[in-house]
Amino acid sequence: MRQDSRAVRNVLFIMCDQLRADYLSCYGHPRLRTPNIDALAARGVRFTSAYVQGSVCGASRMSTYTGRYVASHGAIWNFVPLSVGQKTLGDHLRPHGVRCALVGKTHVEPDVEGARRLGLDPSHGEGRLAMEGGFEPYARDDGIWPPGFKVSGNAYCDWLRARGYVSDNPWHDFANSGRGPDGEILSGWEMRWAREPAAIEASHSETPYTTDRAIDFMREAGDRPWLLHLSYIKPHWPYVAPAPYHALYGPGDVLPAVRSEEERSASHPVMQGFQRDTASRSFSRDEVRATVIPTYMGLVRQVDDELGRLFAFMRDQGLDRDTLLVFTSDHGDYLGDHWLGEKEMFHDPIVRVPLIVVDPREEADATRGSTSDALVECIDLAPTFLDALGLPPAPQWLEGESMVPLLHGQPGAHGKDMVVCENSYAFRDEVRLPLGQPVERCHMTMLRTRRWKFVHFEDLPPQLFDLEQDPQELCDLGRDPAYAAVREEMLARLFDWLRARKRATTIAPSAIESWNARERKAGILIGAW
């Protein structure tokens, strides 16, 4: 009899913000070293074709937290509230006795209007959870305050002040800014200061603070099973790192931008719009890349160091034996590739994310240290967690598939034929206004199969890349007459995908299947003579 000595009891779900898959040494970066994340990969499966479902933080995270595509949960961009009608990971776990807690960032925007409509109390109980995307906010911190903003009620800022970093906005003034020769603040919001060390001790910066809170949580958690979403804000901008991380890498470690002259002169109209963006114009200059990217790398390295500390703690506590561990990101960062900065479009630097999954069970021993190029999506995480914890699936809600068969190397487990990512350019005037598009016609949908990446736009030509011939996605075939048949096939796939969305969330398929039997039992016989 197999002894199930290593059942999954807890889930540690680690996410970075704006971390590109290729900025980790285990994913092939030639200069950046991330030994602790690499060691994680050696303990689990490293997915090389994992895709997010939204290309900005908010939409991507809401997909991961609900296990549903953007078209299904409706939170189409950053700061779009997650409807109180959506069911989240926490809602799936909590009734089964699994605590679902957050340390760090979620970018969940509360559905205040929905709460008012339903008379929810947003500060207590279920109402509060609904406003927090289903996570118990053990230590929530979404970060990101502009200079001059007076931050109050934020635990990290208060913690900084208690350590002598006193200002209205210590997050900005210390953790995310350097100092000039006369002590003046060199704001991290201006990228020219990226090589300056942050005006803070490394151990007081955001990443260690967040790690400490995760350790606190694990110490206090006791015997009740938990899922902890440990969600680092870094390496997201402002691109400022504390010493020594600001200086670990230099301009010589910066890889050349992936871009072509054709992309600049004749790119897709929506891409042209994003290329006009401030961040894109900045990152198209080599000086900016040489200044910012070493610091981005330093911030990644700091995350890796902190994870090393966390993993050591978990080993000490024996938590590595029964915890399913996931490491991923919400999307990448262009860093000048394709003449773009930030995110929003669907090139691989943005939508392909690192994904490492460590399943502690014996059944996963055969795949430890392996890589998988199976197409997988971040919406697959929620069903994976339910599956690993032995909880029932929720097929009327969850649109992803459990990855456990892949983790256990089961025959026939080979991932998906297609992955999908969505975004809307409605929120960016410099993209939308020149195109004269109404906001409701700015939705963009990416389909990626093994060979093709296709992006559908309303009222505009599509983008199409042949990933076999052009893995760097430099040659857009979206208007090339030779590829009309491929585009037709991808359109048909989009149509099929749209029709298959899960909209009837209030009834389980099993209840539908047994409908007639229950009707007969109730004595209902319609149309009898």
Check residue 159 for interaction with a copy of itself (CB under 8 A): no
CB of 517 to a copy of itself, least distance (A): 8
Among 12, 52, 191, 319, binds a copy of itself (CB under 8 A): 191
Among 427, 435, 475, 479, binds a copy of itself (CB under 8 A): 427
- Residue number with CB closer to a copy of itself (362 or 496): 496
The C-alpha atoms of residue 251 and residue 287 are separated, in whole angstroms, by 9
- Residue number with CB closer to a copy of itself (204 or 338): 338
- Residue number with CB closer to a copy of itself (73 or 361): 73
What is the DSSP track for 90-116? HHHHGGGT-EEEEEE---PPP-HHHHH
CB of 197 to a copy of itself, least distance (A): 19
CB of 44 to a copy of itself, least distance (A): 32
Check residue 114 for interaction with a copy of itself (CB under 8 A): yes
Check residue 117 for interaction with a copy of itself (CB under 8 A): yes
Of residues 456-475, those binding a copy of itself (CB under 8 A): 458
Check residue 443 for interaction with a copy of itself (CB under 8 A): yes
- Residue number with CB closer to a copy of itself (109 or 377): 109
Of residues 42-101, those binding a copy of itself (CB under 8 A): 71-72, 74-76, 80-87, 91
The C-alpha atoms of residue 285 and residue 269 are separated, in whole angstroms, by 21
CB 426 within 8 A of CB 407: no
Among 1, 482, 485, 522, binds a copy of itself (CB under 8 A): 522
The C-alpha atoms of residue 223 and residue 240 are separated, in whole angstroms, by 39
CB of 316 to a copy of itself, least distance (A): 37
Query: What contacts 24+ positions apart, CB below 8 Å, involve 432-440?
Result: 432/273, 434/269, 434/273, 435/269, 435/270, 435/273, 435/460
Name residue, tokens 């979403």.
229
CB of 74 to a copy of itself, least distance (A): 4
Peptide bond preceding 95 in cis form (omega within 30 of 0):
no
Of residues 322-341, those binding a copy of itself (CB under 8 A): 341
3-state secondary structure of 197: strand
* Ramachandran angles phi, psi of 141, nearest 5°: -155, 105
Of residues 486-505, those binding a copy of itself (CB under 8 A): 491, 494-495, 498-500, 502-505
CB of 507 to a copy of itself, least distance (A): 5
Name residue, tokens 């938590």.
319
Instruction: List the structure tokens of 377.
Output: 């999506």
Among 127, 137, 393, 478, binds a copy of itself (CB under 8 A): 127
Name the one range near a copy of itself by CB under 8 A: 2-10, 250-258, 424-432, 462-470.
424-432
Of residues 203-222, those binding a copy of itself (CB under 8 A): none
Of residues 275-314, those binding a copy of itself (CB under 8 A): 277-283, 285, 288
CB of 107 to a copy of itself, least distance (A): 14
- Residue number with CB closer to a copy of itself (207 or 275): 275
Of residues 357-396, those binding a copy of itself (CB under 8 A): none
CB 176 within 8 A of CB 238: yes
CB of 524 to a copy of itself, least distance (A): 5
Instruction: Return the C-alpha torsion angle 109, 502, 324, 23, nearest 10.
Output: -60
Nearest to 96 by CA among 218, 224, 228: 224
- Residue number with CB closer to a copy of itself (28 or 495): 495
3-state secondary structure of 136: strand
Query: What contacts 24+ positions apart, CB below 8 Å, involve 142-145?
Result: 142/105, 142/106, 142/107, 142/233, 143/105, 143/171, 143/206, 143/233, 143/236, 144/233, 144/236, 145/169, 145/171, 145/172
- Residue number with CB closer to a copy of itself (323 or 424): 424
Beta bridge partners of 226: 99
Among 342, 348, 359, 377, binds a copy of itself (CB under 8 A): 342
CB of 16 to a copy of itself, least distance (A): 18
- How far does Cα 115 stand from its chain's mean position? 26
The C-alpha atoms of residue 473 and residue 263 are separated, in whole angstroms, by 10
CB 313 within 8 A of CB 370: no
Among 153, 440, 481, 482, binds a copy of itself (CB under 8 A): 440
- Residue number with CB closer to a copy of itself (70 or 356): 70
Among 153, 182, 256, 529, binds a copy of itself (CB under 8 A): 529
What is the DSSP track for 326-389? EEEES----TTGGG--S--S-SHHHHEEEEEEE--SGGGGGGTTEEE---EEGGGHHHHHHHHT
Of residues 221-280, those binding a copy of itself (CB under 8 A): 237, 277-280
- Residue number with CB closer to a copy of itself (147 or 409): 147
Among 428, 466, 474, 479, binds a copy of itself (CB under 8 A): 428
Check residue 130 for interaction with a copy of itself (CB under 8 A): yes
| Alpha-carbon distances, residue 178 vs 50, 172, 421 (angstroms) | 36, 10, 36
Total residues contacting a copy of itself by CB under 8 A comes to 82
Structure letter (DSSP) for residue 12 = E
The C-alpha atoms of residue 358 and residue 335 are separated, in whole angstroms, by 29
